[in-house]
Chains A and B, each alone.
Chain A
């Protein structure tokens, strides 16, 4: 049973469609990334899954229960939606204690999650004195309170220093590999690429991609830059590589080799050797997730682009990729 199923889930706010007929299954276990430009509907989707916002149409289930009955599943769900929200004048511990009381959890659970996020030493301080990163840690702690089967995290590394980002990435991985399901929304594509097994990409409320992270990366291009040992061999090298079926172009860095299905550096090396050309260097480069993402969703800020195309008809959702 998937952890989350969406079936033509839609949410409109007046004339604006924030989420447009999303149909996605999020499998149980593992870390799934939810990515999209600003204003693409990520937070609205998370709010609908938490029962905070009602959908305009369509259905969804979380842990096997409809989102119209959040009381049936929210006891097993932890969430951090947008910026962490706490009572500024209360200590970190008191804030978590009030949430623990609400969930019927013992006080020792507060101690456990504070230790998990590294805030034990600061638990008595009022939250208003916390930095953004510390508030973020506290938000993650609040999400972990119910020892959830499903975690919904919106920008969990926002404001964290590099060490904190690594810690959160490790935490997400640990949670995912322990059988829990983590749905993490982030703009930090490098973090998404490092932490997530699969991705859901949305743009202006439409589903653009749903599948393994590797599958999306494969859509990007890779190329290999090679240098012959002797400059005089450059023309011969180009001829050999073209004959092998690759696209070849001269660049200041040497010879760039590209192909429709990517380029394997070892294959280039073998082809050059078979053609009698000795290579001095081989540098393989693959498009980053960021490059692929921007190609998929557009290079403009999502909300600005939406404002410019406000009268444009709703785009037809892209066909789902097979897992």
Chain B
């Protein structure tokens, strides 16, 4: 009985997630610009309902990101200049409930074409390549997920949202600090924990 229950639970968590997240700058009714993220859910996906009670989509404004618009934050500096050198995708998917928490608070979603990029032009091909390098499949808009501290400053690069195959098939995958270094010396074993 216990084994059956475990198997059912495992199967449940392994069930592929069916949602996408889109980040964009929106214009409000009074002409006000805001940075927003929208979570779209497929009909059979519960995530949106868990997050905001709406079965189809959840929309939120990415409010205060302390000192993000400028060159003050070193995490953003890493994101736009060398994230693919220092981080790798573990391909480990974030469970749905955790993804809901991430979407709801204390995290900021950053795309390659982003207003937070103060290090190069907004259309920079290099930045696009950097973000793509973190995803296993070609993704239209890979999103990096940064954790914010109590002062609303991004402090950690945590996840990347990559496309799977087909629509509504994105996944939030865990990133890990793992410098992409090579060594010519045989006795050196790289990236030991």
Q: Do A and B come from one complex?
A: no
Binding site for B on A (CB under 8 A): none
